Amino acid sequence: MMKNVLITGANKGIGFEVAKKMAELGYFVFLGCRNQEKGTKAVQELQNLGLTNVDLLQMDVCDSASVRQAKADLANKIEVLDILINNAGIAGELSQRISEHDIQEIKKIFDTNFFGAIQATQQFLPLMQHAELPVIVNVSSELGSLGLQTSEGRKPVWSDFHAYAISKTALNAFTIQLADDLKGTKFKINSVSPGYTATGINNFAGFKTPEEGAEPIVAMATIHENEPTGQFFKAEGKVEW
């Protein structure tokens, strides 16, 4: 039977490419999108490529009622969700110097990148309990790595993304705590950095194409039983916390 995967923030950028690749691999893909019109367009684009194993799930990860409704809508369509990819994310406005950045702006970033991932996970977990191998991927960033934040070779491009970096550090902590919470179950829960990828989030300044950025996410979404949980990966391997 076809396995089901849900990707949040899948109407464009890396999420869209993950959706495409997972559909090509034979999964049934639900594109979680906050905007109905943009979501419908993205689904149609995949269907035009002959990928009929895709569907739209409208969902704003910042809105509890919307996530609950999405869970109810999905439960009407499928019995088991195999893979959840918490990809929806925002960078926020620059500069984000943490000594002075507006607290409401910082909260907005956390609302999507951190609380959004937690509330999506909490809602969809019950649907994943009976999956053969339930997998959760939290799309993080190397900017969230405390080790890299404090390393000497820190890239200048990182300098102003303070609030975003902290939100991804927090997301990584969520990965660790959730993996601990679900220890002894079949769940595989990992953080993955796509690498610096040309999308709207960075005004298309990234070095990688969205297809390349999607690769490590797809790799961790399709891991096997004997592979790790509670870890942080990028395309080249493990990332230090």
Positions touching ligand NAP (CB under 6 A) are 8-9, 11-15, 34-35, 38, 60-62, 87-90, 112, 116, 139, 141, 193-194, 196-197, 199-202, 206
CB nearer to ligand NAP: give 12 or 186. Answer: 12
Residue 10 C-beta: closest distance to ligand NAP, Å: 6
Residue 8 C-beta: closest distance to ligand NAP, Å: 6
The structure tokens listed for 121 are 């996970």
Residue 178 C-beta: closest distance to ligand NAP, Å: 17
CA 223, CA 196: separation in Å to the nearest integer? Answer: 23
CB nearer to ligand NAP: give 133 or 211. Answer: 211
Instruction: Look at the alpha carbons of 65, 71, 73, 75 in this order and tell me if their dihedral is positive or negative.
Output: negative
Residue 195 C-beta: closest distance to ligand NAP, Å: 6
Angle of the 210-221 helix axis to the 13-24 helix axis, nearest 10: 60
H helix count then E strand count, the chain: 8, 8
CB nearer to ligand NAP: give 28 or 164. Answer: 164
Rounded-to-5 percentages of helix, strand, coil across the chain: 45, 15, 40
Residue 19 C-beta: closest distance to ligand NAP, Å: 10
CA 77, CA 44: separation in Å to the nearest integer? Answer: 19
CB nearer to ligand NAP: give 133 or 176. Answer: 176
CA 152, CA 155: separation in Å to the nearest integer? Answer: 9
CB nearer to ligand NAP: give 15 or 134. Answer: 15
